């Protein structure tokens, strides 16, 4: 489970972030051309690659494994809880679904106020901020299990798929089922975070079923999240009066 | 800076919830209930997700 779990969680999480980054780069490319917009995106990606290499090396050298596991677990909880809550809220209809067309329009509007330099910076910052989440997930999921290469590969594969699809259609990738992906990734990341924080504090005593507990946690958060979404769905006026 | 904080921690409520969660794990483990923590913590997380989703 662990290898596939890490690959799948990283791939899905990275797909969501790269889709959002692509929308920004696409909007910027209409102002300053594909060459400059891609240059900004590649600069941000290069910075993220250097950060992944640097943090991967530093974390594996300098810290006690138990503390490292706790820190990683906390970051996974910070991400996972947020993603799962957002996915539940959107599934329940409490929050609007993420709209790539709206994101595209907002970026285009921001570009109207600035010059070419500002446009380049918008593309750079957009890719960097979306990529930071990918970087954290790659480092967090890869480090604990010594699978940084596997997690990095999943993130790069997601980038290639999103970039390929985006360049083929040359419009925002609105058909990606972002909320469904966020639901699954949120449940997986919260499960990893729960498992690792408690294992760091209590050792094997916390999880008598070992790695199988991880599968049980993923299933619990998925089913629990779907149940919550159904519970939180606002009732229709007609249903309430009848 | 604000965007970086949001990327890393979400917001103060999200950050506060996770800190409380780890404090709860620590307390349960210290009190000698590590396996019970494995059952209680996921339920608390789902409760927290429910509150965060309604904001």
b/e map A137-161, b = 16+ CB within 10 Å? bbbbbbbbbebbebbbbbbbebbee
As a whole number of angstroms, the distance between CA A67 and CA A87 comes to 30
Q: Which of A79, A95, A76 is nearest to A87 (CA)?
A: A95
Query: For residue A108, which of A175, A170, A23 has the smallest C-alpha distance?
Result: A23
Q: Which of B4, B9, B1 has the alpha carbon at shortest distance from A128?
A: B4
Helix axis angle, A178-202 relative to B34-54, nearest 10°?
Answer: 150
Q: What is the pLDDT of residue A242?
A: 44
Which of A55, A72, A82 is the best mutation test for B, with the most CBs of B within 10 A?
A: A82
State percent of chain A over pLDDT 90: 27
Residue-by-residue pLDDT tens, chain A, 242 positions = 467 888 888 999 899 889 989 988 988 888 788 888 899 999 999 999 998 888 776 666 666 678 878 888 898 899 899 999 999 999 898 887 777 777 777 777 777 766 777 888 888 988 998 898 898 888 878 776 667 888 889 999 999 999 999 888 877 776 778 788 888 889 989 998 999 899 999 988 888 888 789 889 999 999 999 999 999 887 655 554 44
What is the distance of C-alpha A45 from the center of its chain?
Answer: 15
- Based on the structure, what is the number of domains in chain B? 1
Residue A202 CA to residue A224 CA, distance in Å, equals: 25
B42 vs chain A: nearest CA distance in angstroms? Answer: 7
Determine contact: A84 vs chain B, CB below 8 A: yes
- Report phi then psi at A95, rounded to 5: -135, 145
**DSSP assignment of A35-67, as one string?**
HHHHHHHHHHHHHHHHHHHHHHHHHHHHS-HHH
Q: Which residue segment(s) compose the domain that B14 sits in?
A: 2-54
Q: Do A85 and B52 touch (CB under 8 A)?
A: yes
Interchain proximity B18–A81, CB inside 8 Å = yes
Read off the pLDDT of residues A179-188 as tens digits, 9 standing for 90 and up: 888 888 899 8
Cβ contact, residue pair B53, A86, below 8 Å: yes
**Are B35 and A84 in contact (CB < 8 Å)?**
no
Query: CB of A137 within 8 Å of any CB in chain B?
Result: no
- CB-based contact, B44 to chain A, within 8 Å: no
pLDDT tens sequence across B26-52: 999 999 999 899 999 999 999 999 999
Sort out which chain A residues have CB atoms less than 8 A from B54's CB and list them.
89, 94, 232
Burial A61-94 (b: 16+ CB within 10 A, else e): eeeeeeebbbbbbbbbbbbbbbbbbbbbbbbbeb
């Amino acid at each position: 489970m662990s290898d596939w779990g890490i690959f799948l969680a990283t791939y899905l999480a990275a797909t969501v972030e790269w889709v959002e980054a692509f929308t920004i780069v696409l909007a910027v490319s209409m102002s300053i051309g594909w060459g400059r917009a891609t240059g900004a995106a590649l600069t941000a990606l290069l910075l993220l690659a250097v950060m992944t290499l640097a943090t991967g090396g530093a974390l594996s050298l300098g810290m006690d494994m138990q503390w490292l596991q706790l820190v990683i677990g906390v970051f996974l909880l910070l991400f996972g809880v947020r993603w799962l809550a957002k996915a539940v809220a959107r599934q329940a209809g409490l929050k609007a679904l993420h709209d790539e067309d709206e994101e595209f329009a907002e970026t285009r509007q921001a570009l109207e106020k600035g010059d070419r330099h500002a446009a380049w910076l918008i593309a750079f910052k957009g890719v960097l901020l979306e990529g930071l989440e990918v970087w954290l997930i790659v480092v967090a999921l890869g480090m604990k299990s010594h699978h940084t290469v596997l997690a990095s590969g999943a993130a790069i594969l997601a980038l290639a798929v999103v970039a390929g699809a985006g360049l083929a259609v040359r419009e925002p990738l609105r058909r990606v089922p972002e909320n469904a992906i966020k639901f699954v990734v949120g449940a997986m990341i919260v499960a990893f975070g729960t498992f690792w924080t408690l294992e760091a504090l209590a050792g094997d005593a916390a999880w008598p079923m070992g790695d199988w507990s991880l599968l049980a946690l993923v299933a619990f958060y998925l089913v629990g999240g779907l149940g919550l979404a159904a519970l939180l769905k606002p009732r229709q006026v007609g249903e309430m009066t009848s | 800076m604000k965007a970086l904080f949001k990327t890393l921690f979400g917001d103060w409520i999200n950050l506060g919830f996770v800190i409380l969660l780890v404090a709860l794990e620590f307390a349960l483990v210290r009190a000698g209930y590590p396996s019970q923590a494995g059952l209680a913590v996921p339920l608390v997380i789902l409760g927290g997700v429910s509150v965060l989703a309604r904001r």
